[in-house]
């Protein structure tokens, strides 16, 4: 067991749904927290929930590699150590979900910058401390690491990439006593999930058409947070929440072949994709 009592945990995207719920859970397990997000005000507000001795709220945009190093320096100055880096910040489409044919190039790049390079910057900056303290790196990937990323491709590509990065890291760290884990949340009721469910009628219809009801029922971020704490305590290589995704995650090779085949033949889906593309193009047209 890895005891979280007295450990120092850095969380990126801490003001968001999964980040804040995890902060509360890890704090309850005895950890001190370095809470980071793009807005200082947002992390200050979250920090007010905790004893000020055990929390350091910092503004940190994960796309800034130098800022990542500065955050780790500040954490060590304040607490004397950093044990766990939870690279959790992430974004998807800002507005209407887009296909690869219709998406805005700058937005594509921004998603990769945050969701892939943001994880890399956090991981890279934290590694000297994590290795020194035989600690852990936890990276938020997604079921999108193995699902077909249709209409959410840069997000899915980033989540597959950070999964791969973290698996490599776990192997590379194995002789050091430190470890790395991948977190795979299913649909969770937070701001980011609205892109696929609820925020856009066509994308919602698409997901409802494709996924069985038990898979598109969103869980609470607190459920993910409990998985995070348990996963860190057990140094699990993979944290799959909720567990109903686990068989698909394990059977992904076969599942991918079947779903890709199915998607290519799904006439209703093709109509919805066409409607979505028209809506994206309209939303990009000035006036």
- Tell the smallest beta-carbon distance from residue 122 to ligand NAD (Å): 9
In the list 2, 24, 29, 38, the residue contacting ligand NAD (rule: CB under 6 A) is 38
Residue from 16, 135, 154, 231 touching ligand NAD (CB under 6 A): that is: 16
Which residue among 11, 75, 90, 170 contacts ligand NAD (CB under 6 A)?
90
Residue 61 in contact with ligand NAD, rule: CB under 6 A: yes
Residue 65 has phi, psi (to 5 degrees) of -65, -40
* Contacts to ligand NAD from residues 166-205, by CB under 6 A: 185, 187-188, 190-193
155 part of the active site: yes
Q: Distance of CA 281 to CAs 99, 101, 198, 278, Å?
A: 10, 10, 20, 5
User: Residue 272 interacts with ligand NAD (CB under 6 A)?
Assistant: no
Q: Which of 43, 47, 62, 241 binds ligand NAD (CB under 6 A)?
A: 62
86 binds ligand NAD (CB under 6 A): no
Q: Is 80 exposed, middle or buried (CB count within 10 Å of its CB: 0-12, 13-18, 19+)?
A: exposed
Q: Residue 61: is it exposed, middle or buried by C-beta count within 10 angstroms (0-12/13-18/19+)?
A: middle
The closest alpha carbon to 4, from 83, 66, 59, 69, belongs to 83
- Would you count residue 18 as binding ligand NAD (CB under 6 A)? yes
Residue 173 CB, shortest distance to ligand NAD, in Å, is 21
Is residue 88 near ligand NAD by the rule CB under 6 A?
yes
Nearest residue relative to ligand NAD (C-beta): 16
Nearer to ligand NAD, 32 or 188 (CB): 188
Catalytic residue among 27, 144, 146, 155: 155
Tell me, residue by residue from 142 to 161, as one string, x for binding to ligand NAD by CB under 6 A and - for no binding: x-------------------
Residue 94 burial (C-beta neighbours within 10 Å; 0-12, 13-18, 19+): exposed
Distance CA 141, CA 134 (A): 22
Which tokens belong to 150? 């249709």
Residue 63 binds to ligand NAD (criterion: CB under 6 A)? yes
When the beta carbons of 71 and 130 are compared against ligand NAD, the nearer one is: 71
User: Of 42 and 269, which CB lies nearer to ligand NAD in the complex structure?
Assistant: 42
Minimum distance, C-beta of residue 54 to ligand NAD, in the bound complex (Å)? 21
Segment interacting with ligand NAD (CB under 6 A) among 7-15, 24-32, 97-105, 263-271: 7-15
Which residues carry out catalysis?
155
Residues that bind ligand NAD (CB under 6 A): 12-13, 15-19, 37-38, 61-63, 88-91, 114, 118, 140, 142, 185, 187-188, 190-193
């Amino acid at each position: 067991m890895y005891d979280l009592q007295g450990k120092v945990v850095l969380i990126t995207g801490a003001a968001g749904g999964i980040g804040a719920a995890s902060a509360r859970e890890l704090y309850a397990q005895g950890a001190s927290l370095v809470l980071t997000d793009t807005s200082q005000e947002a992390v200050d507000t979250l920090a007010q929930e905790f004893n000020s001795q055990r929390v350091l709220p910092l503004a940190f945009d994960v796309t800034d590699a130098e800022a990542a190093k500065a955050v780790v320096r500040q954490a060590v100055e304040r607490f004397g150590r950093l044990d766990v880096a939870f690279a959790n910040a992430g974004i998807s489409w800002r507005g209407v979900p887009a296909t690869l044919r219709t998406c805005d190039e700058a937005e594509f790049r921004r998603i990769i910058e945050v969701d892939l390079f943001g994880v890399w910057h956090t991981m890279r900056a934290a590694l000297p401390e994590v290795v020194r303290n035989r600690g852990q790196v936890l990276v938020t990937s997604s079921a999108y690491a193995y699902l077909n990323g249709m209409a959410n491709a840069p997000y899915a590509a980033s989540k597959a990439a950070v999964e791969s990065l973290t698996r490599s890291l776990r192997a590379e760290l194995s002789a050091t006593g430190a470890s790395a884990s991948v977190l795979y949340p299913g649909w969770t009721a937070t701001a980011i999930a609205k892109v696929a469910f609820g925020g856009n009628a066509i994308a919602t219809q698409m997901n409802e058409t494709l996924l069985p009801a038990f898979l598109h029922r969103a869980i609470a971020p607190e459920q993910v947070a409990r998985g995070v704490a348990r996963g860190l305590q057990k140094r699990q290589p993979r944290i799959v929440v909720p567990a109903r995704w686990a068989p698909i995650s394990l059977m992904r090779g076969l599942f991918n072949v079947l779903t890709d085949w199915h998607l290519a033949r799904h006439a209703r889906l093709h109509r919805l994709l066409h409607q979505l593309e028209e809506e994206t193009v309209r939303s990009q047209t000035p006036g």
